[in-house]
Structure 1
Amino acid sequence: MTTHAMQQAATGRGDLITIGSLSMQFLVDGRHTTGHMAMAEMVVQPQAKVPPPHRHVDVDETIHMLEGSLTYRVDGESRVLNPGDYCFSPRGSVHHFSNPGTVPARALVVFSPANIGPDYFNEVAGVLGAGGPPDLAALKGVMQRHGLELAM
C-alpha cells in the first residue's frame, strides 16, 4: 500500500471530488480491497443536475441514506429514500437519482466490484469542468472505459 493510500486509510477519507452540485469522497477504494469494493460518501445539493439514467455493465451499487432525501429510480420503480433507507441497483439495471428537496442529501454509496471509483469521478469532473458545453463524446468515452452506459 502506498503512503498516500495508508494515510487515506488512516484518516478514512480520500480527496473530495466535486462535479457540479454533486460531491464524492471515497472512504475505501479498490486499492484497499484488491478491487472487491469501493465506498464513498456522496452529497447531492438540492435541485442538482445529476447523472442521467445509466447502467453499470459489471458493478452492483448500493446506496444508504444518511441525511436529507433522494428520489431514486431503478428499472422503472421510483422510491423516496430518507435517512436509514437503502436501495440496491444490480449490475445492468437502469438507475438514476435526484434531490428535489431544499436541503443537501448525504449518502454512503458502495460499488462492487470497485470498477467505479475515484478515477472515474475525477475523469468525469475533468470533462465537465473543461469550460463551455460538455463534450458528450468525451463523457461517453470515460463512461465506457469504466463500464457505464447511458440509458437514453
Structure 2
Amino acid sequence: MNNNKEIIKLGQIEVKFLLEASDTNGQVTMFEFSVPHGIKVPLPHYHENFDEIVYGLEGTMTFTVGEKVIDLEVGQSLFIPRGVVHGFNNLNSQTAKALATITPGLLGPEYFKDVAEIVNAGGPPDIEKMKLVFKKHGLVPVMNI
C-alpha cells in the first residue's frame, strides 16, 4: 500500500494519491484533490481507456459532464464514463475537496507531476504543452464543452 502522502501542487490545486496502480494490481487508482474557491480548471477533456468516479468531501465543485452541469456537494458521487467530455470549476466561496477513483488504474501521480511542471512554471500555462501531457497519459483535451 502507498504510504507516501506526497501532495502534488498544480498551482493552487492539491492532489494526494491514496492508492496507485502498484497497490491494486492495476485495477484502480484513488486520490483526493482540493480546489480553492474561484479556481477555473482549464482544458475540458475525456479519458480514452478509463472511467472516473468522484465523491464530494468538502464544499461544492461544479462539473460539466457531457451536456449536464452538476454541482457536486459533500456526500454526493458522480460517474464519468470513458469517452465523455468533462471539466470542473470551483465557483463557490470555499475550498472544495473530492475523492476520485480511476478504473482501471491507468492514471497515476506522474500525470499530475507532469501537469504541475507546466502550471507551476509561472505565467499562463502553455496550452500546447498541456495537450501533449494529456495525450501522453490517455486524456484527450477538448477546447470547448
TM-score above 0.5, yes or no: yes
Matched, 1:150 2:118: no
Query: Which among 37, 46, 50 is matched to residue 28 of structure 2?
Result: 37
Scaled by the length of structure 2, the TM-score of the pair is 0.92
| Counterpart residue number, 1:3 | none
Contact 1:74 1:89 in 2 (8 A): yes
| Counterpart residue number, 2:69 | 78
Could you tell me the percent identity over the aligned residues?
Answer: 38
Matched, 1:103 2:94: yes
Name the CA distance, whole Å, in 2 between partners of 1:29 and 1:125.
Answer: 18
1:136 partner letter: I
Contact 1:124 1:142 in 2 (8 A): yes
Scaled by the length of structure 1, the TM-score of the pair is 0.88
What are the equivalent positions in structure 2 for 1:127-146 lying under 5 Å apart? 127-146=118-137
| Counterpart residue number, 2:45 | 54
Q: How many equivalent residue pairs?
A: 143
Cα deviation digits, residues 68-121 of structure 1 (max 9, x gap): 011111111111111110100000100111111111001110111121110000
Structure 2 unaligned blocks of 5 or more: none
Which is higher, the Rg of structure 1 or of structure 2? 1
Moved more, 133-142 or 111-120: 133-142
Structure 1 unaligned blocks of 5 or more: 1-5
Q: CA RMSD in A?
A: 1.4
Query: Which among 61, 82, 94 is matched to residue 85 of structure 2?
Result: 94
| Counterpart residue number, 2:60 | 69
Cα deviation digits, residues 12-57 of structure 1 (max 9, x gap): x531011112111000011111211100011010011313211011
| Counterpart residue number, 2:15 | 24
